Amino acid sequence: MNKTYLINIATALPPFKVSQNKAGLELIKRIGVRPVISRLIKAAATHSGIDTRHVVLPDAAENPEEKFFSKDGKEIVPGTQERMDEYEKWSKKLACEAVGNLINSNLINAAEISRLITISCTGFFAPGLDYFLIEEFKLSPGIKRTNIGFMGCAASITGFHSVLESLSNSKDEPRNALMVSVELCSLHLQMEPTRDNILSNMIFAGGCAAAYFSNSLNSTRIKFELLNTFTFLFKDSSDYMGWRIGNQGFQMILSPELPKIILDSAVPELIKILESNGIDKKRIKYWALHPGGRSILDSLQKGLRLSEEQMIPSRKILRDFGNMSSASILFVLKEILRNEKIEKGDLCCAVAFGPGLTMEAALFRGA
């Protein structure tokens, strides 16, 4: 069985950067009519662990000429079709930037990519992003494609499943896989002053990441080998996390019990999964934890008994970019690849959670 190597990761960000303080004040203007709602928004902003986020909405710019959620000085609520039109435009633009950077900086021959995996839970169109990337970068018309939609923050690790299956089971044939995750969460800003909407509006952001994998050890820059992936679906958990498509975008469901569920149920299950595969948690040097929010990271740190140093990559991505859904875990892995001195044999575990509640995990080893 061939090995699967993570060659590199490139990222792209939406053009508008907004501070958490400004985002909170803007949201209060729109929906914080009642004092209790204003207090909830302020608390969500203050305790989020986020300083800044990137969005595709011109509303976040200083004195913008045009706004998405306002027209002629009046606040509007765009319909789902309008949001999907913006999603198509910006997902193509950001994916093109990330993939272009990945190909150029790593001298990748696009014609040699044999598998393309596209990931998103914030929009859709057809022909989709895969079709666009094939044409834009002259990928093989015979490339095998997988589109992973609506699997939430854990979807990139779901993508790792497909990468591993594709590259490790290829006998002696050299294969390469390109995985692209793009999320534009700010397009789904909701104005109904519910707890779920306030939390979603204050933590989610936009971002794109492209990762390149190969079963050939043909680069001295390779740092990680993808060893294995794991999935666990928690019973009777459909109310913990999810969303519905409404007439004004996607509506999130986020249980306030998530941090406790992760601490009490998910962490023990993760440790059990690792041990059943012969991995002692203490052997894992690096942790790529999905930055779903400060309380999520706090629960994972407490349950896994991780040091502040081990939490730096995940907390930094949360602080600087917010929760970019499925793209976030790739941003965290990129942070580890770029800043850590990874030695041969060092273990890294990536963990994220998706609707269901589902836990996805991946194990890497220093190459």
Beta-carbon count within 10 A of 341 CB: 7
Helix (H, G, I), strand (E, B) or coil at 149: strand
* Domain assignments of the chain as residue spans, ordered by start: 224-366
Express each pLDDT in 144-173 by its tens digit. Answer: 999 999 999 999 999 999 999 999 887 778
Tokens of 216: 């050939």
Q: Where are the beta strands (DSSP E) in the chain?
A: 4-12, 16-19, 52-55, 70-71, 74-75, 115-120, 144-149, 176-184, 206-214, 224-233, 241-246, 249-254, 284-289, 347-354, 358-366
Express each pLDDT in 205-232 by its tens digit. Answer: 999 999 999 998 765 567 899 999 999 9
pLDDT at 254: 86
Tokens of 162: 């497909």
Residue 55: band (very low, low, confident or very high) from pLDDT cuts 50, 70, 90:
very high
Q: Are 209 and 331 in contact (CB under 8 A)?
A: yes
Q: Are 217 and 3 in contact (CB under 8 A)?
A: yes
Residue matched to tokens 């598998």: 115
pLDDT at 292: 94
pLDDT at 11: 98
Whole-angstrom CA distances from 309 to 75, 301, 313, 336 are: 44, 11, 8, 12
CATH 3.40.50.970 is held by the domain 224-366? no
Whole-angstrom CA distances from 117 to 131, 154, 158, 291, 298 are: 11, 14, 10, 22, 31
Query: In sequence order, what are the residues at sequence separation of 6 or more whose Cβ sits closer than 8 angstroms to the Cβ of residue 279?
Result: 347, 363
Whole-angstrom CA distances from 80 to 83, 274, 331 are: 5, 41, 28
Tokens of 61: 């710019």
Query: In sequence order, what are the residues at sequence separation of 6 or more whose Cβ sits closer than 8 angstroms to the Cβ of residue 73?
Result: none
